Amino acid sequence: MIFLGNLTIINPNKSLVNFIHYMPLDTDHGMKDTNGNLMTQDELNAIGILIDSIPQPAPPNGYYVSATYVDPTTKDVSFDYAQTPKTPEQQLADLQAQNAQMLLALVQGGLM
């Protein structure tokens, strides 16, 4: 079992997952109540969602998982992806390429 918690409701069929516990019922590392007792499945379902597995995300090349969502009614998990930020080296290379293109345009236009 996997516990999805601290949910932010987006709409009735979509909630943002802000907390994932992969061993919520484990006697040593499971989720405990305020008295230090292991929480039951019913207690966990009252504050979040228990699912059997999470699908493997498949972000396109150059993207990463930016958010995980769950449909509370079907317990289907989905993901949002965001573009991976460029490194400073990549940004510098992009700026150098743009500079070279602008200089070429100026020279070809007779402005330099």
Residues of 87-108 as b/e, b for ≥16 C-beta within 10 angstroms? eeeeeeeeeeeeeeeeeeeeee
Confidence of residue 101 (pLDDT cuts 50, 70, 90): very high
Long-range Cβ contact pairs of 76-84 (< 8 A, separation 24 or more): 77/4, 77/17, 77/51, 78/14, 81/57
pLDDT tens, position by position, 6-57: 999 999 999 999 999 999 999 999 999 999 999 999 999 999 999 999 999 9
Length of the chain in terms of residues written: 112
Contact between 18 and 8 under an 8 Å Cβ cutoff? The reply is yes
- pLDDT computed for residue 26 by the predictor: 95
